[in-house]
């Protein structure tokens, strides 16, 4: 099979072939002049020059696009239906704060910043934060203590926190060594060798093979999970897909899963990484990142219209003329602009594909082929901090593929002083990645459970892993309260839940259905984690990269002299270039990878 549509991942879009006389005359002194203008002057100049931009959506992609446009002198208005920050925002639990404390901090799901993120950290460095030399970026802390929890009496594997109170716990060390020995013995040597071989095959595969073959092979098939041991299927097939990226292993694109595995390994080796293997924010996302970002953008002249849903793209003269907006009260209005960046999630972007839009850009119809899944958060607020959990826990065998972080180990906050009613000492924040597998208490998938049943199931699944050797880690009396992501709502007619904020997932063959940032409509640009990006995964990094790509496409279309936005790519070890060139020739000849033993 040939690779669909254009360039491979990891390569930048080709620069515009035509360079205008105006841009040549402007020269390097004028490049980026909009960045140098004070915000009010930039907005006034933009208005005079017909450089108004409507950014549709205030999530990661929309804010990233607004940031780059504002720094280049464009007049930007962001229209957001719900709340700025999108899936990455904090969601305070209203009415829970008392005596001057803030409301308890809920969230769509905890924020995790792998070391191979480069675009998001660059943006963070340019967002001022009081007392921080590197802006919001200095609010990132390394994740240093993690636990892989198994159930059924098996020992867990713990990476202990170097500066943990009391130093290294001998019991933790004993359990970790035991767990490592158990895991090494659980997976047959032949299967370990098989997985190493499959990983080497992917590392040495050319882009031609990754797009032409691995894009169309499910991860389950690629790692040959059928008939393998239960532990091999759990760790290699299920956890690396459902636990990390919320996609099912039998339909997940090998190209995407393999690329993420490669990125984690390389960043762990310090190659192409902005920081360590993983980092997290030292406070709730809004406090540490989103609120300072919005303040900075307002200072640059960006306007925000929150509570305004984009209902339609209105066309005229072969372009987008305006957008029709509707607020919570049902009032409608139109907003015109010179340029439009569509940064709404894929499920909402599909709703904007009217016949008039598709007449101008028929290629956007393929958005309807993209698939979404659920990955949402649940927070347990605790009366005291549980022992032996560390910063992060992966509940490897949980039916719902739960991952959790203990916020007291990460946030620079005093819970009883800062949040709630004074009785909450900690927060165990969960991501639920599998909403389709039956749980252990009610025998129903999370999609079919009530909100209370979801909380009970998650609590039970954690205890099943942490208390399977007889010790008490999460006694029921420790629980103060809980909150589920409000995007999950019970829908009586269907006998289940609906999700207002699903996640785009990379299924086999999905690359060919994903749009580039520049569309066939000359003043419409796409941004979002479903747009083709180098990171190629529904993440904050992918959303940020897509916002940058949309701005660069807009600058080209506007024939702007402003400096183009830098876009970082995933690290590609040059040491493997020779093997990849050999593989490219073998692929074109219809032969397997040099290391493929099939």
In tens digits, the chain (598 residues) has pLDDT values of 333 333 333 333 333 333 333 333 333 333 333 333 344 444 444 444 668 999 999 999 999 999 999 999 999 999 999 999 999 999 999 999 999 999 999 999 888 899 999 999 999 999 999 999 999 999 999 988 888 888 998 878 776 555 444 554 555 555 555 555 566 667 788 998 999 999 999 999 999 999 999 999 999 999 999 999 988 888 888 877 776 666 788 899 999 999 998 998 898 888 888 988 889 999 999 999 999 999 999 999 999 999 999 999 999 999 999 999 999 999 999 999 999 999 999 999 999 999 999 999 999 999 999 999 999 999 999 999 998 788 999 999 999 999 999 999 999 999 999 999 999 999 999 999 999 999 999 999 999 999 999 999 999 999 999 999 888 999 999 999 999 999 999 999 989 999 999 999 999 999 999 999 999 999 999 999 999 999 888 899 999 999 999 999 999 999 999 999 999 999 999 999 999 999 999 999 999 999 998 6
Task: Name the CATH topology of 21-86+285-368+512-557.
Answer: FAD/NAD(P)-binding domain (3.50.50)
Q: How much is the pLDDT for 214?
A: 98
Closest by CA to 143, choosing from 243, 285, 276, 283, is 276
CB-CB contact of 48 with 41 (8 Å): no
Q: How much is the pLDDT for 174?
A: 54
* Rounded distance between C-alpha atoms, residue 161 and residue 87, angstroms: 29
CB-CB contact of 86 with 60 (8 Å): yes
CB-CB contact of 416 with 370 (8 Å): no
The beta strand positions in 150-302, using DSSP E, are: 157-159, 278-281
Predicted TM-score (pTM) of this structure: 0.89
Query: Residue 575 carries which DSSP code?
Result: G
SS3 (DSSP) at 594 = coil
Structure tokens at 564: 């183009």
Rg (CA), the chain: 25
Q: What angle is formed at CA 135 by the lines to CA 132 and CA 140, rounded to 5 degrees?
A: 85
Consecutive H or E run containing 440: none
432: β partners: 376, 402
Q: How much is the pLDDT for 26?
A: 34
CB-CB contact of 472 with 393 (8 Å): no
Q: Which residues contact 106 (CB under 8 A, 6 or more apart)?
A: 90, 91, 92, 93, 377, 379, 483, 485, 486
Helix and strand totals (H; E) in the chain: 20, 24
Q: How much is the pLDDT for 4?
A: 35
What is the CB neighbour count within 10 angstroms for residue 477? 8
Q: How much is the pLDDT for 598?
A: 67
Please, how many CA atoms are within 13 Å of residue 215, restricted to the half-sphere of its CB?
A: 21
The beta strand positions in 410-508, using DSSP E, are: 426-432, 479-484, 488-491, 496-499, 503-505
Concatenate the DSSP letters of all residues of 87-139 into one string: GGSEEEETT---TTPBPEEEESS---EETT--HHHHHHHTS--TT-TTGGGGG
């Amino acid at each position: 099979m040939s690779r669909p549509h254009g360039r491979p991942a990891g390569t930048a879009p080709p620069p515009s072939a035509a360079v205008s006389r105006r841009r040549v005359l402007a020269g390097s002194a004028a490049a980026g002049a909009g960045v140098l203008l004070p915000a009010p002057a930039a907005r006034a100049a933009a208005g005079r020059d017909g450089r108004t931009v409507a950014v549709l959506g205030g999530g990661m992609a929309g804010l990233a696009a607004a940031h780059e446009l504002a720094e280049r002198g464009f007049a930007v208005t962001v229209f957001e239906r719900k709340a700025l920050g999108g899936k990455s925002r904090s969601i305070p639990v209203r009415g829970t704060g008392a005596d001057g404390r803030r409301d308890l901090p809920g969230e769509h799901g905890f924020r995790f910043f792998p070391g191979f993120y480069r675009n998001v950290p660059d943006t963070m460095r340019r967002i001022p934060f009081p007392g921080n030399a590197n802006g919001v970026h200095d609010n990132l802390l390394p994740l240093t203590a993690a636990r892989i929890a198994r159930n059924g009496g098996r020992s867990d594997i713990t990476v202990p926190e170097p500066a943990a109170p009391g130093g290294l716990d001998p019991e933790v060390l004993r359990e970790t060594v035991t767990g490592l020995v158990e895991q090494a013995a659980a997976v047959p040597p032949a299967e370990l060798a098989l997985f190493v071989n499959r990983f080497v095959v992917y590392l040495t595969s050319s882009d031609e093979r990754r797009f032409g073959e691995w894009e169309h092979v499910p991860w389950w098939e690629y790692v040959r999970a059928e008939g393998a041991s239960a532990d091999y299927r759990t760790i290699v097939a299920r956890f690396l897909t459902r636990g990390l990226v919320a996609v099912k292993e039998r339909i997940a694109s090998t190209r995407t899963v393999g690329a993420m595995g490669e990125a984690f390994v390389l960043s762990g080796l310090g190659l192409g990484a902005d920081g360590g293997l993983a980092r997290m924010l030292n406070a709730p996302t809004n406090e540490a990142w989103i609120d300072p970002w919005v303040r900075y953008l307002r200072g640059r002249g960006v306007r925000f219209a929150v509570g305004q849903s984009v209902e339609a793209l209105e066309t005229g003269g072969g372009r987008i003329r305006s957008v029709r907006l509707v607020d919570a009260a049902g009032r409608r209005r139109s907003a015109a602009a010179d340029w439009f960046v569509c940064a709404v999630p894929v499920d909402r972007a599909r709703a904007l594909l009217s016949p008039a839009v598709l007449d101008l850009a028929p290629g956007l119809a393929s958005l309807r082929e993209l698939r979404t899944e659920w990955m949402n958060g649940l927070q347990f607020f605790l009366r005291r901090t549980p022992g032996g959990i560390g910063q992060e826990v992966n509940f490897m065998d949980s039916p719902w593929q739960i991952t959790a972080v203990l916020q007291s180990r990460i946030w620079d906050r005093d819970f009883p002083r800062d949040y709630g009613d004074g009785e909450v000492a900690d927060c165990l924040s969960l991501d639920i990645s599998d909403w389709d597998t039956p749980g252990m208490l009610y025998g129903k998938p999370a999609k079919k459970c009530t909100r209370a049943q979801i909380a009970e199931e998650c609590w039970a699944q954690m205890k099943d892993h942490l208390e399977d050797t007889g010790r008490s880690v999460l006694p029921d009396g420790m629980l103060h309260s809980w909150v589920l992501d409000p995007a999950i709502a019970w829908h009586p007619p269907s006998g289940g839940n609906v999700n207002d904020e699903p996640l785009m997932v990379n299924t086999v063959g999905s690359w060919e259905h994903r749009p580039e940032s520049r569309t066939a409509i000359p003043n419409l640009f796409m941004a979002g984690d479903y747009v083709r990006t180098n990171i190629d995964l529904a993440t904050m990094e992918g959303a940020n990269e897509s916002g940058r790509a949309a701005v660069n496409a807009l600058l080209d279309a506007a024939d702007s002299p402003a400096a183009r936005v830098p876009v970082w790519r995933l690290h590609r070890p040059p040491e493997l270039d020779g093997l990849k060139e050999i593989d490219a020739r073998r692929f074109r000849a219809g032969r397997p990878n040099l290391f493929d033993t099939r």
